[in-house]
Amino acid sequence: MLSRQPILNHMQRGPRAFSSSCRREKQRLVILGSGWGGYEVLRRVDKKRWDVVLVSPNNYFNFTPLLASCAVGTLEFRCAIEPVRRYSPAAGIYQAWCDSIDFRNKMLQCLPATKPSHVASPSDTAYDHSISTTSPGSGLSFPLKYDKLVIAVGAYSQTFNTPGVKEYAHFLKDVRDARAIRSRILECFEQANQPTLSDTERRHLLNFVIVGAGPTGVEFAAELHDLLHAEIWEHYPSLAKMARINLYDVAPSILGMFDKNLVQYAEKNFRREGISIWTSHHVNKVEAGKLLIKEQGEVPFGLLVWSTGLSPNPLIASITELKKHQKTQSLIVDDHLNALRTDDTPDPDVYVIGDAASLANTQLPATAQVANQQAKYLYKRLNKIIKDRPHEKPFEFHNQGTLAYVGNWKAIYDRPDEGGLPGLSKEKGRVAWLLWRSAYFTQTLSVRNKILVPFYWFLNWIFGRDLTRF
């Protein structure tokens, strides 16, 4: 029989003398937000070297350029989202809000963003998402320590404190917004089809109003026009004649960031297609089924989509330790995307990207393109930092140009004076539309959506959009 004593003696001697030093604990990288900035950092950062934790109220990424198409049934909702749990368990993921940040102790206080336990029915349409952070049963707040922090929480829709907007208007920043808008469009036609309504009441229901004539508002108006002149005209011919699209903006023209000639082309195209444009108009108040406009008085509507710019995220508004942009109230960052303290010194452990950030010396547009480029710069920087390699190159934004769909298979592309897509200048019409579609196709992040997006484009071209309301 073999003796066990040599084995026991070996175990009692402990570690060998030539063993390497103790393994260093991973530094924790916390990412706040799963938008264009946060999701890209999550995808690309070295999760083998960083202890990555994502905190976001959504467990998916919104591909925002496709939301207008989803809202009218041109694409299905799954085409506009990417699940963040694709990167679990390599990264820890919490569906939660960050409520406050203690920069001195590097500690976050988070609140669950899931439904409270007493909300049992998934069909409870009266559920308010704000309940999940305030009501008992939604879960206790929890602390979260960080070594490096990436703030990519984005911004909210700007309402300018107009009474009634939050209660009666739809926004278009999330796939849930697109779902609600699609449902409301079809509901308006089904309500207008009831025999008990007068023609006046039908026209009120079928008046679709968009406030905000930036790219989001213009593209939604264009997509809605395509829907009305295709499937709606086929299935509700008498009602389709009553439908109207009205586009309002306080500015003197639509698409203020585009070249003047391209704006004139878009406006001419809209008016030719029957879309009414009301610039230099001010909304004073929104009530149920109507809005009060300073220049026109009372305007009834069946659907109101509000897209008038951005306001600070409540988390950003609550931060007092960091320097803020005087106009936008976003956090000011240096050339390496580090947040600046109130004394103008950078915080080496805090980065801010996307709509929550403003560069100290440069004003960048609030677009997904900016957030995505900042995220690509940041993950490369973080991957070098964790390997103790220098990364002193500052962030530089390379403007690839701006696209907007204007309906009927037409679009506009505004190329910047420097940069942009090679071989292209300022384009309009079908060429720009092909560019618009190819750009969104190539930007989709997963192989799944690179297949689904053109598949649904082709499917709806052959069979039409789905007008089922659910």
Instruction: Give 341's DSSP letter.
Output: B
Consecutive H or E run containing 182: helix 175-192
Per-residue pLDDT of the chain (470 residues; tens, 9 = 90+): 444 444 444 444 444 433 334 445 899 999 999 999 999 999 999 999 999 999 999 999 999 999 999 999 999 999 999 999 999 889 999 999 999 999 999 999 999 998 776 655 544 443 343 333 333 335 689 999 999 999 999 999 999 999 999 999 999 999 999 999 999 999 999 999 999 999 999 999 999 999 999 999 999 999 999 999 999 999 999 999 999 999 999 999 999 989 999 999 999 999 999 999 999 999 999 999 999 999 999 999 999 999 998 999 999 999 999 999 998 899 999 999 999 999 999 999 999 999 999 998 888 988 999 999 999 999 999 999 999 998 889 999 998 899 999 999 999 999 876 655 555 678 999 999 999 999 888 888 889 999 999 999 999 999 999 887 64
User: Residue 359's closest CA among 343, 335, 328?
Assistant: 335
Burial call 196-234: b when 16+ CB within 10 Å, e when fewer: eeeeeebbbbbbbbbbbbbbbbbbbbbbbbbbbbbbbee
Give the Cα-Cα-Cα angle 422, 423, 429 (nearest 5 degrees).
110
Q: What is the pLDDT of residue 420?
A: 54
Q: What is the pLDDT of residue 18?
A: 37
What is the separation of C-alpha 171 from the centre of its chain, rounded to a whole number of angstroms? 11
Which residues, other chains included, contact 447 with Cβ-Cβ below 8 Å and sequence gap of 6+?
Answer: none
Which residues, other chains included, contact 247 with Cβ-Cβ below 8 Å and sequence gap of 6+?
Answer: 210, 213, 217, 218, 221, 254, 270, 275, 276, 277, 278
The contacts found for 327-330 with CB under 8 angstroms, 24 or more apart, are 328/358, 330/155, 330/355, 330/356, 330/357, 330/358
Q: What is the pLDDT of residue 426?
A: 87
